[in-house]
Amino acid sequence: MAYLIDVDIFAPKIWRFELDTPAEGGLPSFTSDDSGNVIASGGYDNIPAQLLANRTRNLHNRLLTIENQLLNQRLSTLESNGVGELVRMSFYPADLLSLTDFAFSGVLWFRGQTISRTTYSRLFSRVQHQISGTGLFGAGDGSTTFTLADLRGEFERSWDGGRGVDAGRSFGSWQDYATARPKTTTPQILDVNGISHPPESYHPTGDYGNRSAGAVAGFARHAKSGETVSYVSKDATDAGFEMDIEAMVDGDPETRPRNRAFLWCVRY
């Protein structure tokens, strides 16, 4: 007994046997008019089965098409939801520094580069509302390109969002380094031997006879861009708010916690 060969045709009507329908096996031979009426000429016994097989094949293919469309839609939604996310990469391709846009594995390295609004249209569509001169994304040439911020060597900080701990910041904005005053209510002065003394009771003589006023505690650092710096000369009366330059030591170029270096990237 041979199998029927079904084809992808939806049969709107299924043929039935009448009392005068001849019994005839073999390959069905029939045609259908525009209304789905079957005009048979052979293989009568298998015509209903063939029509049902064709309809099943057609419905099966339609179902697969719908499933694929839904799957693609879900995947597209998932991919779109990830576009614009900040990603910390723990690996990078060997040719990273030679890549034009610094794009790999579906992400772009935040390296201060200018990229195409067309090539990275999904990313641009997701972030265009927050393009600014101070955020993570810049306007580029204003029409065909946009820019990524340069996050190399930078730490991240959670956006204040109105809390007031880091007030006055726009989302994604850059912030210069800062050095806070010592968090102490009992300032001490170190003598040349490294021994600490309360400022109000310490009155050395000789080359180290000058000190800052007892009510003031602090330390010196290089000025940042935009700061106003005032200098007070040493005096011989043990007064004023200057610090003894003989007792100052140089330090590292920045204040930082222990850390590891990663690539900060954005999904596109």
Residue 30 lies in a domain: yes
Tokens 């009992």 sit on residue: 186
15 inside domain: yes
| H helices, E strands: number in the chain | 2, 11
Residue in 214, 225, 260, 262 with CA at minimum distance from that of residue 87: 262
Evaluate whether residue 187 is within a structural domain.
Answer: no
Average pLDDT, stretch 45-64?
90
222 within domain boundaries: no
Binning pLDDT at 50, 70 and 90, where does residue 247 land? Answer: very low
So what's the pLDDT on residue 233?
43
In a domain, 137, yes or no: no
154, pLDDT greater than 70: yes
In a domain? residue 119: no
Residue 259 resides in a domain: no
Tally of structural domains, the chain: 1
> Rounded to the nearest 5°, which phi and psi values hold at 54?
-65, -45
State the residue range of the domain holding 59. 1-82
H-helix segments, 4-134: 47-82, 121-127
Reply yes or no on whether the pLDDT at 251 is more than 50: yes
